[in-house]
Structure 1
């Protein structure tokens, strides 16, 4: 590839920030009146994406300055994600109910998805890993701001596998809670659950393995990531079909209040990120 693995990850992070802003807007516009705090992720997503693209251009001449800018954006993304999850969780509780009934599974199923804002935090964690250079590659030694270094207990490649596993787990739980609103007799509802469990376990196993990966390891992992991509695309197709009228007419209101047509693409997104994690960890400055 003409760019390094970390640069590819940063491009994915920038694209994800922009798309998260759009997805948040579509979700929050259901209220007809967007609350002031709901504008934070809507505005932050595109702004963060543009800043990351600028950071990528700066990195071509000054990696340290670019790392500073990207680090600030990703830390802000983590804060936005955690705050959003808190606000969503509060919406799914009954503070005046008797103890033991204030938070229930039924409330979480029908409340705003409390895991959804964590996507901002996940992109922040992924981006921080990509922004901090590993020197030498595979050592787990990261160059961080202020001219300091930090030694991770494992290489950046293994860290990427763990992040893919966590992101896939979040997508899996979010999908299960969303589909819990409908009868599970539909066999297609089990596809994201089964594939999500499989991909979560495989990517976590790849990160836990402290040896040179074999061809069988990579083949199984690639199969899991390809399944994630396929399930995401199929999920989007089925969600769009559910939102269309019986005459296949597009009614914007149905797309806003019906099956979230962008949500399944989180599976596809994690599959693509997982495949990027297999790229060579070497930077352009390394031989």
Structure 2
């Protein structure tokens, strides 16, 4: 495989797709540990493998409808991550002691949904990338 012939956007889409595999495993373990007590916990667990599959297919099959689908999914990922940040931040605050440092250490990981958002933004950068 000749990687020097791959464009930057193609490499980024491959990276983002594989990163969603890893973050999807992490999200699934954290939410499983909490027994999926809130229905919103299922959204990143279900969407991560979809992002992975669509991104991998897009990496090898350059179809305009796949670009559109990937773009829509990445926008969904941005919104999902921001909503997750809200739920995680609120989850820390409702613990005994409120937003104390110890609650940030042992409560819901506040930065994980932001990582989900950041990966989605990187996917959007790859889709909107224009060579000048």
What TM bracket, shorter-length normalisation? 0.7 to 0.9
Matches within 5 A, 1:181-192: none
In the alignment, structure 1 residue 27 sits paired with structure 2 residue 30? yes
Aligned to 2:65: 65
Query: Out of 8, 12, 15, which is 2:11 matched to?
Result: 8
TM-score if structure 1 supplies the norm length?
0.41
Aligned to 2:21: 18
| Larger relative contact order (CA 8 Å, sep ≥ 6) | 2
Structure exhibiting the larger radius of gyration computed from Cα positions:
1
Looking at structure 2, the residues matched to 86 and 114 of structure 1 have their Cα atoms a distance apart, in angstroms, of 8
The answer on whether the counterparts of 1:55 and 1:69 sit within 8 Å (CA) in structure 2 is: no
Aligned to 1:38: 41
The answer on whether the counterparts of 2:9 and 2:127 sit within 8 Å (CA) in structure 1 is: yes
In the alignment, structure 1 residue 48 sits paired with structure 2 residue 51? yes
The answer on whether the counterparts of 1:74 and 1:124 sit within 8 Å (CA) in structure 2 is: yes
Aligned to 2:118: 122
The answer on whether the counterparts of 1:67 and 1:132 sit within 8 Å (CA) in structure 2 is: no
Higher helix share: 2
TM-score if structure 2 supplies the norm length?
0.84
Stretches of structure 2 lacking an aligned partner (at least 5 in a row): none
Q: How many residues align?
A: 128
The answer on whether the counterparts of 2:54 and 2:66 sit within 8 Å (CA) in structure 1 is: no
Matches within 5 A, 1:166-181: none
